[in-house]
Structure 1
Amino acid sequence: MREVVLTGNDLNLRDLIDIGFKKAKVVLSKEAREKVKRGRAVVDKIVEENRVVYGVTTGFGQFASVVIPQKDVEELQYNLIRSHAAGVGDYLPEEIARMLMALRANVLAKGRSGISLETLELLIEMINRGVYPLIPEKGSVGASGDLAPLAHLALVLIGEGKARIEDVEGTGEEILKIVGLKPVRLRAKEGLALINGTQVMTAIGALALYKAKNLIKHADLIGALSLEALKGTKTAFDERIHRERLYKGQRDSAKNLWNLLQDSEIMESHKNCGKVQDAYSLRCMPQVHGPVRDTVEYVEKMLEIEMNSATDNPMVFEEQNELISGGNFHGESVAFLMDFLKIAVAELGNISERRIERLVNPALSELPAFLVEQGGLNSGFMLAHVTAAALVSENKVLCHPASVDSIPTSANKEDHVSMGTIAARKALEVVNNVENILSIELMAACQGLEFLKPLKPAKALIPVYQKVRENIAPWDKDRYMADDIEKARKLVESRALLDIVEKQIGKLN
């Protein structure tokens, strides 16, 4: 297992995903250790001098004007975490919990939070030893960051709350004990340092982004299969057309489609058919898939900025021996990114569903109705298409931007919030829906090819079709459909089809 060294400055999406899926462990850099120690020393000095600093020697939010006696500053941190752990709903999946722990550790490694090195080291050891907190997914409005869900994480560090290792669930203290760890004793500001930030929305968003990146190439590949089944032409993907429009994503998608569709017996068989142009869902794939690519690239660039940004409040500046209050915990940047991401990815689903409709509709496809012989006795892909349509319509609701909403909280002290975590959760749901839509199209396209035999599709697509058939038999008569959809989804999720085609023609863009 490789190591990811946390410096606070250069964590990337690939590293974060590997940590989330237990393909990497976490190590704190030497420089980060020193920064954390220096930041902690500033907090200790402030407490010793009885200076009035928000969250260190005062209450929180509306209680910011309440000065806390020195003897109570540690109890203040425990009260903060316990009271703020007010989340509800299903627990975040383990991979997201691990990613948010890594993100929180990376932010704390910047030395701007005043955390103690002992607390940060416990957080890192939890990641490496497989301990993860059980964090309800709902309860954050995205400012002051992800307070409620991060408080559930912080509870485990002090031996409270709920945690899990593999299939064993218990209190924080019980689960830590299993792996030879002990809870920490929080000192001044540490509770606040653990819960101020955007790491939950960023972790959920990172998973949505990672899955979206996987879908981009699949959209071109599956679209190429559909084009073959529908006897379309590759002419619209000619490089000369796309040189005249300067979007990188469009050009990349067009090049993929052109390369995927070379040497096709099916295409050769109808080159003189008289049809001049294909429908937009085929002809305009680069003009739709391409902007999705550009959006995903932008989101990744910006989300990695967030992953390496200090989001605490107040922030420690040991250079001036000072703490300064601000608002870096506000999640508007992530909220916008997640709203943009889900709108873009939803379009992959929209255009995919239109191709599915063309495949199942005999008036458009010249194929048997709903891609099955003995229609009437068999319903074929009728309801598979309905499922795709349902997911597309659900995405229309999910794509309403969460970031345009705000609701005042904390006695109107927090009078504008981002809804970034809600935006991220919706983005992940949209991506999951589109994964299923593309999986249904994959099945439908391969079924369409059955009716064109003995003609073969493009050479690069033949082993893709064969891999699908190793897992999913042709649809000769009606059978249990949901099981086949899940098999197709797993093929998409695993990237097995991409691996096969890229061995044929090289890496897709």
Structure 2
Amino acid sequence: MGQIVILNGVSLTAEAVVAIARDGARVGLEERAREALTATRQYIEEHWLGVDAPLMYAFNTGVGALKSQRIAPGDIEAFQTNLVRSHSAGAGDAMPTEVVRAMMALRVNAFASNHSGVRVEILDRLIAMLNHGITPVVAAKGSVGASGDLAPLALMSGAMMGLPHSRVRFDGQEMPAARAFERCDLPPTIDVQAKDATALINGATASLAYAVLAAFDARSLLTDAMISAAMTIEALRGEVSSFDARVMRARPHAGQARTAFALRQMLSGSQRCSEPARQVRLTGAQGPAGQRHSPPLAPRIQDAYSLRCIPQVHGPVLDALDYVDAIVATEINSATDNPLIFPEEEGYAIVSGGHFHGQYIAQAMDFLALAVTDLSAICDRRSARLIDPSCNFELPGNLIAQRPGINSGFAVAQSMGTGLVLENMGLCSPASATSLPAKGNTEDHISNSCFAARRTRTIVDNARSVIAVETLLAAQALDLCERDLADFPLGIGTSASWRALRETVPAMLGDDRWMHDDIAQVTALLADGTLRKRVGVSCGPLWPARDSW
């Protein structure tokens, strides 16, 4: 049996959300949470759903501008069902399956905190869908992230209910939701009663699903960028003194110090980044290859910013990730619908609030978008240096191994990276500062969190391809250097990543190959963590506890 994630509303982690979303981890509900939910719901049905109950928002009233409109007990189920229908106003392509699965798990976890008042049957239905692999088809666009992600969550809820228009992905096919339930021996439909639908669609949970996955991937991406940077430094026989721990202590930002430590770990044992290695002529340079320059070249002293300032540029990304992860961790275990329910000495209190508003997520995702965009930009600048004969220290132009002119080498691979960086630059404009009133001015300030998070996921995906290009180019450069610099070993981490890459993607030492496939293969190696794992085995953790760096 695979991993089982038990939800209780207080202890879910981003790693567990990713396991549910991507790896198909099974989901369960903690028994204490189940008991608490059952007791709360029993109280609600006994005390709050009668004809003489006071007006309570979303229980026996309409929503939004209709908040003062009383709903009779006999109409509550129809009201809740119609709420899902009326709010299913999404547009655009469908969300990826992993995002929808994350959204479903996060909604269950929010309910498990026992502040929403939903029936436990709602949680069980969503859990059954996750465990059977029934994933609602949810349009990605249309949420303003104010009263939560209303449209995406309504589309998810309609599928959960088995409504006729709802579609799901199941067993590799798209089909009506009810049919998928029947194939799993589950009831084809389920009703929604007081507070069920209002709780289901209230909260910035689609935004959070995108954010969890984007932040998780961005942290892995930063490690990949550290690896590609180390490979480029060695390919260019760079100067590593700027990563000295004493230099870092003179301006003691944590992220900067940690990235410098990671570089020192990977470059440990390197003789390639030394003055003797720099004096060796490379094949293709003027004069006999493999011999020392005479007269000697002037000392390198220091490198261009894209090499020398890696700690100062990658470091802020690490600090940004720490901030973003803290926001995401809090959101994962928060109750985010309205109103919320709290136990009192005699019964429960119901309190209206604004936890559905997605501004925390929106601002965190804007911050992450800026950080990852800049990370992709510096990686691309290193790629540009690798192919440019004016600044790549005797490497062949475009990293062409033979027959320049007949072969074009890696120029367009590098240009592709620049194109993705330009796209990221256009995408990273702040979404959280863009607000227009919605729903008859009831939502007079919106967060735009769903777009912010969805956009940031795109930026992260683009950045992975940019880093893949740097990795591919740096590996090619190391291969071209190897015949002349074999006596100058690489650092332990750089060597491990280079050799791991070459197990899948051979060097281009003859004619040009189909570049798309090489880039795709390297991107896949980054996505599955192959290079990170091999570097970790060779030189230990790159991000250890504080005392180490």
For normalisation by structure 2, the TM-score amounts to 0.90
Q: Distance in 2 between matches of 1:172 and 1:39?
A: 30
1:267 offset after TM fit, Å? Answer: 2.2
1:462 offset after TM fit, Å? Answer: 2.0
Q: Which residue pairs with 2:373 in the alignment?
A: 346
Q: Distance in 2 between matches of 1:462 and 1:433?
A: 26
Q: Distance in 1 between matches of 2:200 and 2:148?
A: 11
Give the letter for the 1:238 counterpart. D
- 1:359 is matched with which residue: 368, 374, 386? 386
What does the per-residue CA deviation read over 1:437-476, in whole Å, with 9 as the maximum and x for residues that have no partner?
0000001001111221232422332232122222222223
- 2:513 is matched with which residue: 448, 465, 479? 479
Give the letter for the 1:266 counterpart. R
Q: Which residue pairs with 2:244 in the alignment?
A: 238
Residues 317 and 371 in structure 2, CA contact (< 8 A), matched pair in contact too: yes
1:23 offset after TM fit, Å? Answer: 4.6
- 1:174 is matched with which residue: 176, 179, 190? 179
Q: Which residue pairs with 1:421 in the alignment?
A: 450
What does the per-residue CA deviation read over 1:34-92, in whole Å, with 9 as the maximum and x for residues that have no partner?
22123323432211243211112111111112222221111000000011011111111
Q: Which residue pairs with 1:368 in the alignment?
A: 396
- 2:96 is matched with which residue: 93, 97, 103? 93
Q: Distance in 1 between matches of 2:246 and 2:539?
A: 21
Higher mean C-alpha deviation, range 426-435 or range 446-455: 446-455
Residues 211 and 431 in structure 1, CA contact (< 8 A), matched pair in contact too: yes
Higher mean C-alpha deviation, range 54-63 or range 266-275: 266-275
Q: Distance in 2 between matches of 1:171 and 1:323?
A: 37
Q: Distance in 2 between matches of 1:354 and 1:117?
A: 54
**Does 2:526 correspond to 1:501?**
no
Give the letter for the 1:78 counterpart. T
Residues 227 and 497 in structure 2, CA contact (< 8 A), matched pair in contact too: no
Going from structure 1 to structure 2, the CA distance change for 1:459 and 1:324 (only over 3 Å counts) comes to closer
- 1:47 is matched with which residue: 43, 46, 49? 49
Q: Which residue pairs with 2:322 in the alignment?
A: 297
Corresponding residue SS for 1:388: helix
Residues 359 and 432 in structure 2, CA contact (< 8 A), matched pair in contact too: yes
Q: Which residue pairs with 2:293 in the alignment?
A: none
Q: Distance in 2 between matches of 1:253 and 1:120?
A: 43
Residues 213 and 296 in structure 1, CA contact (< 8 A), matched pair in contact too: yes
Residues 237 and 278 in structure 2, CA contact (< 8 A), matched pair in contact too: no
Residues 130 and 165 in structure 1, CA contact (< 8 A), matched pair in contact too: yes
Higher mean C-alpha deviation, range 290-299 or range 365-374: 365-374
Residues 43 and 189 in structure 1, CA contact (< 8 A), matched pair in contact too: no
Report % sequence identity: 38
What does the per-residue CA deviation read over 1:259-313, in whole Å, with 9 as the maximum and x for residues that have no partner?
2112224223336751110111001111111110111111111111011111111
Corresponding residue SS for 1:451: helix
Q: Which residue pairs with 1:121 in the alignment?
A: 124
Q: Distance in 2 between matches of 1:169 and 1:395?
A: 32
Q: Distance in 1 between matches of 2:247 and 2:168?
A: 56
Residues 153 and 206 in structure 2, CA contact (< 8 A), matched pair in contact too: yes
**Does 2:351 correspond to 1:324?**
yes
What does the per-residue CA deviation read over 1:325-384, in whole Å, with 9 as the maximum and x for residues that have no partner?
221100000000100111111111010011011001100002111110332222211111
Count the aligned residue pairs. 509
Q: Which residue pairs with 2:435 in the alignment?
A: 406
Residues 128-167 of structure 1: matches in 2 within 5 Å? 128-160=131-163, 161-167=166-172
**Does 2:437 correspond to 1:435?**
no
**Does 2:502 correspond to 1:469?**
yes
Gaps of 5+ in 2: 280-296, 544-549
What does the per-residue CA deviation read over 1:398-441, in whole Å, with 9 as the maximum and x for residues that have no partner?
10010010111111111110000000011100000100000000
Residues 42 and 114 in structure 1, CA contact (< 8 A), matched pair in contact too: no
Residues 144 and 196 in structure 1, CA contact (< 8 A), matched pair in contact too: yes
Q: Distance in 1 between matches of 2:388 and 2:374?
A: 21
Gaps of 5+ in 1: none
Task: Say what the alpha-carbon RMSD is for the aligned residues.
Answer: 1.4
Residues 17-96 of structure 1: matches in 2 within 5 Å? 17-44=18-45, 45-48=47-50, 49-96=52-99
Q: Distance in 2 between matches of 1:110 and 1:193?
A: 13
Q: Distance in 2 between matches of 1:264 and 1:113?
A: 58
- 2:303 is matched with which residue: 273, 278, 294? 278
- 1:288 is matched with which residue: 304, 313, 322? 313
Corresponding residue SS for 2:512: coil
Residues 42 and 322 in structure 1, CA contact (< 8 A), matched pair in contact too: no
Q: Which residue pairs with 2:10 in the alignment?
A: 9
What does the per-residue CA deviation read over 1:182-220, in whole Å, with 9 as the maximum and x for residues that have no partner?
132211111101110111100101110111011111111
Give the letter for the 2:538 counterpart. Q
Residues 328 and 361 in structure 2, CA contact (< 8 A), matched pair in contact too: yes
Q: Which residue pairs with 1:460 in the alignment?
A: 493
1:249 offset after TM fit, Å? Answer: 1.4
Corresponding residue SS for 1:323: strand
What does the per-residue CA deviation read over 1:78-111, in whole Å, with 9 as the maximum and x for residues that have no partner?
0000110111111111111111111000001111
For normalisation by structure 1, the TM-score amounts to 0.97
